[in-house]
Structure 1
Amino acid sequence: MSLNIVLVEPEIPQNTGNIARTCALTDTSLHLVRPLGFSVDDKHLKRAGLDYWSLVKIYYYDSLEEVIKKHPNNDFYYATTKSDKNYTEFSYKDGSFFVFGKETKGLPVEIIESNWDSAIKIPMKSNIARSLNLSNSVNIILYEALRQLDFPFSK
């Protein structure tokens, strides 16, 4: 097993490419929920992922519900700026899924509200900007989960 990153309707190919590279180097699976804001053949996507694409376990879905239905026994965490709980307040397990929304809007409010107990945030100064870059946010949360699991990919 490994950890899992879910990107719901990602829009910027460079972000997805950077995340794919991180996934390859940490033995993390990448789950992409359509529609994507780019073609998977996009040169920016490929360039950001460099030559790591063959190392990425990548899966495509038509909805977030499909992801959840295919993995009913796993824990899901929903990244949002709206949560009242920091990502460091949770104990993650092997096989956990971390769900991130599109760059311009994040996850839909109804998803956050219906999963409030597993909504996580990265603390940041408010009223300055909307949020951190998507690939930076994924890395921050993913590396906390990997730290808690004692970096299983490095053994």
Structure 2
Amino acid sequence: MRLALYQPDQAGNVGTILRLAACLGVPVDVIEPCGFPWGDRALKRAGMDYAEIANVTRHADWARWARFASGARRRIVLLTTSGAIRLDQARFEADDILLIGSESAGVPADVHACADQRVRIPQIPGTRSLNIAVAAGIALAEALRQTGRWPE
């Protein structure tokens, strides 16, 4: 299981996700460009010392990350508000990559089209979307539960 962040805008959210991933032993791919300098104080503050132990790989752009994902032969599971599959109905595999779009724009249509599965977290009518760090935590918890990959 991996998390991939597509051109994230908010350093604090990335720091929170790095902390989550470090605590659960899940690698993170950051697909650049980011909307903030990598050494941003908000990234460090949110990630605390956990960001230093997180397994993070930065990719210069979508094309380079897509080659990496294709070479690894892993399914791409996109978390999206327009996903056809509800999170509670999605079926995860141990080698899936959970892809999360940027806070401001999600992912473009060409990236959306590359996903093997498009999953949405159900929300009440009238709400737009969850914070990406919250969405990452919810989806990762379900994926780890299904695949029996919770740390001891």
Same fold (TM over 0.5): yes
Q: Does 1:121 align with 2:120?
A: yes
Identity percentage of aligned residues: 25
Structure 1 residue 104 corresponds to structure 2 residue 104: yes
**Aligned to 2:61, which of 63, 71, 74?**
63
Residue 4 of structure 1 is matched in structure 2 by: 2
* Alpha-carbon distance in 1 for matches of 2:13, 2:86: 23
Number of residue pairs aligned between Structure 1 and Structure 2 = 150
Distance change (3 Å), C-alpha of 1:116 and 1:44: closer
CA contact (8 A) 1:83 1:116 kept: no
C-alpha spacing 1:127/1:110, structure 2 compared with 1 (3 Å)? farther
Return the alpha-carbon distance in structure 1 between the equivalents of residues 94 and 63 of structure 2.
21
Cα RMSD, aligned residues only: 1.5
Q: Structure 2: give runs of 5+ residues left out of the alignment.
A: none
Q: Distance in 2 between matches of 1:88 and 1:69?
A: 30
Q: Which runs of 4+ in 1 moved over 4 A?
A: none
Q: CA deviation at 1:147?
A: 0.6
Is the CA contact 1:7–1:100 (under 8 Å) kept in the aligned structure 2?
A: yes
Q: How does 1:4-153 map to 2 (within 5 A)?
A: 4-72=2-70, 73-112=73-112, 114-115=113-114, 118-128=117-127, 130-153=128-151
Displacement after TM superposition at 1:115 (Å) = 4.0
SS at match of 2:151: helix
Structure 1, unmatched stretches of 5+, are: none
- One-letter code aligned to 1:83: G
Residue 81 of structure 2 aligns with an amino acid whose one-letter code is T
| In 2, Cα distance between equivalents of 1:42 and 1:125 | 34
Contact 1:22 1:139 in 2 (8 A): yes
Conserved 8 A contact 1:10-1:16: yes
Maintained 8 Å contact 1:8/1:34: yes
